[in-house]
Chains A and B, each alone.
Chain A
Amino acid sequence: MSETPAELKYSKEHEWVRQEGDNVVTIGISDHAQEQLGDLVFVELPEVGSLLESGAECAVVESVKAASDIYMPVSGEVIAVNEELADTPENINDAPYSDGWIFKVKLSDSSELDGLMDADGYNAFVAEDR
């Protein structure tokens, strides 16, 4: 059974969002998502400074046999990316909610967070998906 920390928000595309204050959020992919993808071998990170709408493709995670797009769960400006993933994409497998974070976004519209699921909602969504 995969972990779903209660303090995070989740998207239907299996991203998690952590509020860091000051309208900044950290984004990664859920434990469930990394399990589905298997051992990750590469992460294509978004460019710092890019302004992206919610739903836009912004990054790619690759395993040996699959590649999966990551979509912006919220709109905003990318203000930081996890450069370490370039050499250690396995951090996403090993610690999806900590060392495996992917990028940080300065929100354009914090009300978009209300459209995301909480942990229970996400667990129910994943169960339904199966």
Chain B
Amino acid sequence: MPFIPHTEEETQQMLETIGVSDIEALFDEIPPALRCGLLKEIPEGLSEMEIGQLMAARAKQDGQATCFIGAGAYDHHIPAAVWQIAGRGEFYTAYTPYQAEASQGTLQLLYEFQSMMTALTGMDISNASLYDGASALAEAVLMAVRANRQSKSRRILLPRSLHPTYRKVVKALVGNQGLELIELPFNPESGRTDLSALEPFTGEDIAALVIPQPNFFGVLEEVDQLTNWAHENKALAVGVVNPVACSILTPPGEWGEKGADICCGDGQPLGAPLSSGGPYFGFLCCRDKLVRQMPGRIIGRTVDKEGETGYTLTLQAREQHIRRSKATSNICTNQGLMAAVATIHMALLGAEGLERVALACHANTQQLSEKLAAIKGVEKVFSGETFHETVLKLPASSKAVLRALANHQLLGGNDLSDDYPELGNALLVCATEKRTDAEIERYASKLARILSGADDVLCQLHPKD
């Protein structure tokens, strides 16, 4: 009986105290007809050693391929200290800090997190995390609709250059609240959203314009123009940013004349391992005046009864446990531990360390894209400047090429042919600071070999595959 400490004798004594003969008697209020009996299809319990062996075998089966995929999850170095500290039981096994006096560690850390996120994004306020970048954008959009009192339309402009899954998640999460999501086309040459795409909406009632920086293709959007357009048209500007990129790019708080009103994104690049997509965390930042529309936990600094500094959850009247059906969101549990991870990560790297990571990623991806584009038939798709991802067009089925690369333990990028059929056989590739020259070289030589037909998978390379 894993993790149950009772001895036979103790169990008997406790039953006597309660005044029942056996444990089964404690379930006498459950109608007998509803009882399920032993769940035979569930396996017998394993010891720690046995489950360890099973998990090790399954892990080994998956191997550790070299990763050139980005698309919202990035293979960055994580300082050893980050998880050694975040994994301490006092952080790892604590609950949401409702009892502030018994949670000063988590609370102060989250206050530092809020401070660091606002510094990085140039915004005034940060909450203490949401689930992930995609759901954070859904919350940002709902927040914009609540906050924009000048707009009655509930119309949101979402660029097609925004992460396709983010668009799907926003639709799934806000679709039942009568919001209208309008897709903006991107310029097929540059890969960015032109002002001309906004032209049809000039003077219209729009609640918010979403601005990704960099966008899904890795291309840098003209954020100043887009932000100004939003404000001229009484729409809120909602940035979707990569926190590592924020260390070298103009932060959303400084976009255009007035800066973005809200910004969000996925915090994964700040210390969260790839881990099959989670846990990561979403961040959400805003201007001072929007703070009461912010969903999620917020930590405030205050004093105790003796005047000493302390930290506590604040503005809780926005939240579901108090406001119930009128809350800003239903979110309760967030991704606290991942915010802790990000805080320790940012403290260790500092602004300069993050900048170096960002520049190394940028340089590696430049190098990768040059090497790959030198292969016959491979072309860079967009002319717009990029951060640490770029789109390449292949002369053969991108799906088949990725399969062939995977046989060489190379994850060659993210196939775009389903989400962007207009781009043909396109791949989104990324080389973070972790990718070595040798790995980049190996990718280029394998790709050249596969495309030249020398690789034995050639016969599978049908363009329509």
Chain A interface (Cβ within 8 Å of chain B)? 41-42, 44, 47, 62-67, 69
Contacts and interface: CB of A to CB of B under 8 A. Distances in A.
Nearest to A67: B317
Nearest to B323: A67
Contacts of B323: 67
Contacts of A44: 292
A65 B316 contact: yes
Interface string B84-125: 000000000000000000000000000000000000000000
A26 to B, nearest CB: 25
Max chain B C-beta neighbours (<10 A), residue from A41, A65, A67: A67
Contacts of A64: 316-317
Contacts of A63: 317
Contacts of A47: 149
B322 interface: yes
Interface string B315-349: 01100001100100000000000000000000000
Main secondary structure of the interface of A (DSSP, over half): strand
B381 to A, nearest CB: 49
Nearest to A66: B322
Interface residues of B, number: 7
A63 B149 CA distance: 24
Interface string B125-164: 0000000000000000000000001000000000000000
B112 to A, nearest CB: 23
B237 to A, nearest CB: 23
A66 B323 CA distance: 7
A67 B322 contact: yes
A42 B292 contact: yes
Contacts of A69: 326
Interface in B276-296: 292
Given A65-B316, A66-B317, A69-B326, 10 more contacts: A41-B317, A42-B292, A42-B317, A44-B292, A62-B317, A63-B317, A65-B322, A66-B322, A67-B317, A67-B326
A41 B149 CA distance: 23
Max chain A C-beta neighbours (<10 A), residue from B316, B317, B322, B323: B317
Max chain B C-beta neighbours (<10 A), residue from A41, A42, A62, A69: A62
Contacts of B149: 47
Contacts of A41: 317
B146 to A, nearest CB: 12
Contacts of B317: 41-42, 62-67
Contacts of A65: 316-317, 322
B31 to A, nearest CB: 38
A2 B81 CA distance: 57
A109 to B, nearest CB: 27
A78 B307 CA distance: 41
15 contacts: A41-B317, A42-B292, A42-B317, A47-B149, A63-B317, A64-B316, A64-B317, A65-B316, A65-B317, A66-B322, A67-B317, A67-B322, A67-B323, A67-B326, A69-B326
A81 to B, nearest CB: 14
Nearest to A57: B326
Contacts of B316: 64-65
A38 B323 CA distance: 16
Contacts of A42: 292, 317
